Structure 1
Amino acid sequence: MVKVKICGLMEPADIQAVNEAQADFAGFVFAKSRHVVSLATALALQTHLNPNIQKVGVFVNESIADILAIYQAGAIDIAQLHGKSTPEEIAELQRAGLKVIQVFERQAIDPKSTADYLMVDSGKGSGQSLNWQAVPHVDRTMILAGGLTPDNISQAIQIVQPDIVDVSSGVESDGKKDPNKIMNFIKNAKEEYVL
């Protein structure tokens, strides 16, 4: 069954919504964006997060030292790396105990990446959909992101067959997380399809 990551959590109501909908991963954005949260905010929010939900920190060209400081503070289990990340940097994070998601934007995935998860995305929170037919199938744990909504998630999963799907703006109304959209997204993502 496909797992679901809800990204860009910013307030207590967001945490309540992912707990109730039983998301698998909760994403906290530490990079400059409209969803950015401070370490203090992320830690405060997580006191209410279901402990079964893995915490993902989203970074863009962040220093390894800063990522490790956020990990050591207890804010994340997984680092999601946008931008340039070298195999050495990925290995350094993994040695410290972090799992790593390497993000490939609108480009071929590098199946030789040493990251734990490979994500194909249409761009940092752009809300644009990928051409799902063009997403290569790789024999690795793959995450699909970019332009996913409760309405198109079933079709995206049927075409791409990812292990994990990731959504942020696709489950928002008026720029805030919408508990009903989160619930519907997860329900639609996890429905078993018999082709």
Structure 2
Amino acid sequence: MDNLIKICGLSTPETLEAALEAGADMVGFVRFPKSPRHVTLDLGHRLSLQAKGRAQRVVLFVDPSDEDIAQAVEAINPDLIQLHGSESPERVAEIRSMAGRPVMKAFGIAEKSDLQALTPYAETSEHLLLDAKPPRTAQGLPGGNGVSFDWKLLNGLDPALPIMLSGGLNPDNVAEAIRLTKPKAVDVSSGVESSPGLKDAAKIKAFVQAARTAFAAQH
């Protein structure tokens, strides 16, 4: 499905409700202790119940173990698994099979050659999420750093690839990003926050509206 809008890193009932009311198609919960957006299994369970039937629920991992996956599938019951580490295509296929859920794979992009990594994952991944490579100051956080990459790098990319654009998006630039790259979906985390890990309801609403308008303009 095209034209999906994902709000990632939600960690409170209030900000999740803001995302759901704004019309987000996907809501993301982070299972990565280093992240300021990390949620416990118990909180993830409660947030998942809140979102059930209202948006697709995504759980984000970074190089998870089989146990990590099993625990989150049982507690949070996500609709999709997001992998934000160095998982190989074979590992993505394993996790997809084990979890019984579709998977989206994230890639750090800084130069044209980074896009060569996408093709081996296209068969096993529902979405190929393109994020900016983390800056050196990111302290081990592979995403959610509020940095964008040069969108012109995507010129000439196979339009059939299920691209989800991420990295440095916010309410002010998402329309331009969609116009330039024509992705199937967009993803935001830090771009709708007032401080690291703290989502802002007004920014979420503005982001969803801007993205929805930009997607509609393409048709």
TM-score (norm 1): 0.92
Deviations 1:27-63 (A, max 9, x none): 1010121111111111112222251311111111111
User: Secondary structure in 2 aligned to 1:73?
Assistant: helix
| Code of the aligned partner of 2:130 | V
> Could you tell me how far 1:12 is from its partner in structure 2?
1.0
> Could you tell me how far 1:72 is from its partner in structure 2?
2.8
**2:119 equivalent in structure 1:** 111
* 8 Å Cα contact 2:44-2:76 kept in structure 1: no
Which structure's residues are more often helix, by fraction? 2
Deviations 1:62-92 (A, max 9, x none): 1133113211334312111112212232222
* 8 Å Cα contact 1:71-1:77 kept in structure 2: no
CA RMSD of aligned residues (A): 1.7
- Report matched runs for 1:112-151 at 5 Å: 112-113=120-121, 114-122=124-132, 123=134, 124-135=143-154, 137-138=157-158, 139-151=160-172
Identity of aligned residues (%): 36
Matched, 1:187 2:189: no
Q: Please, which of 60, 72, 78 is the counterpart of residue 58 of structure 1? A: 60
Q: Which moved more, 1:68-77 or 1:17-26?
A: 68-77
| Code of the aligned partner of 1:48 | Q
**1:94 equivalent in structure 2:** 96
CA distance in structure 2 between the partners assigned to 1:71 and 1:150 by the alignment: 32
**2:25 equivalent in structure 1:** 24
Alpha carbons of structure 1 residues 104 and 179: separation in structure 2 relative to 1, 3 Å: same
User: Secondary structure in 2 aligned to 1:151?
Assistant: coil
CA distance in structure 1 between the partners assigned to 2:164 and 2:5 by the alignment: 9
**2:12 equivalent in structure 1:** 11
> Could you tell me how far 1:94 is from its partner in structure 2?
2.2
CA distance in structure 2 between the partners assigned to 1:168 and 1:88 by the alignment: 28
**Displacement over 4 Å in runs of 4+:** none
TM-score (norm 2): 0.83
Unaligned runs of at least 5 residues, structure 2: 135-142
CA distance in structure 2 between the partners assigned to 1:7 and 1:162 by the alignment: 17
> Could you tell me how far 1:16 is from its partner in structure 2?
1.1
- Report matched runs for 1:31-50 at 5 Å: 31=32, 32-50=34-52
* 8 Å Cα contact 1:68-1:93 kept in structure 2: no
> Could you tell me how far 1:4 is from its partner in structure 2?
0.6
| Code of the aligned partner of 1:34 | P
